[in-house]
Amino acid sequence: MEKKPDLAVATSSAVRALTLEYKKLQEEPVEGFRVKLLNDNNMFEWEVSIFGPPDTIYQGGYFKAKMSFPIDYPYSPPSLRFTSKFLHPNVFVDGRLCISILHPPINDPSSGESSSERWTPARNVRTVLLSVISLMSEPNISSPANVDASIMYRRWKKGDDDQYAKIVKSQVQASKVQAEKEGVVVPLTIEEYCNEVKDKIKKKDEVDDCMDFYDFNNYDDDDDEDEVTISAEEVCSEEGNEDGEDVE
């Protein structure tokens, strides 16, 4: 068994890895996201600003989240917790995101997850954020973190009830107020998302990839519980929804 590095070595390695990732995300930002340090002296806590993807119910939204990293990153996964109100089947009512790639790389046959779905040192912040975009356009309702949200989402997709849409639209509207206070212009179309990135990185191939990624019209609207999106086949407990908090 390989011996783990001591605390000082692990921390130094994590700071180096995070510094490189942070610099790259500033130079080549992920479409629909912006990141910044919560404290310039602490590389282990980031603020993530998430723009609701176009052609989804979250379009026009400006959602904040806190991303925390362990001292042995990238060997252990980060965590992500929404600080903005954010109703979603794969987000606990306290804001914690539940997704397979943020689960530790341990062998747990009872989870139903393969090791390839969990965190590995080959993953990074970019892969996590792109997975969040995938979940916003197509939640994994077969193993929800927020059971109430999952039930509402299913009913909304079937046309039986619009409570889910009403709550999300209310949260989007509230987030727009916050964006305006901060002077943030939220991209509303696929073109705006991709052109903003084009202006910064000046790479046509990157922009073409962005356009393909955000072609949400290609998503299958069928309510297939067995269908999953990129890295979204997580197994979540219902603990995050036991306190009876109001999802609104």
Point out the residues that are catalytic: 98
| Class at the top of the CATH hierarchy for domain 9-107+116-206 | alpha beta
The tens digit of pLDDT for each residue in 95-133 reads 999 998 998 776 655 555 556 678 999 999 999 998 998
CB 5 within 8 A of CB 179: no
CB 64 within 8 A of CB 195: no
- Higher-pLDDT residue of 7 and 35 is 35
- Break the chain into its structural domains and give their ranges: 9-107+116-206
Q: 48: part of which helix (H) or strand (E)?
A: strand 42-51
The three-state secondary structure class of 181 is helix
d(CA 166, CA 244): 19
0.85 exceeded by pTM: no
CA dist list (Å): 33 to 105, 184, 193, 231: 26, 12, 10, 18
The tens digit of pLDDT for each residue in 45-104 reads 999 999 999 889 999 999 999 999 999 999 999 999 999 999 999 999 999 999 989 987
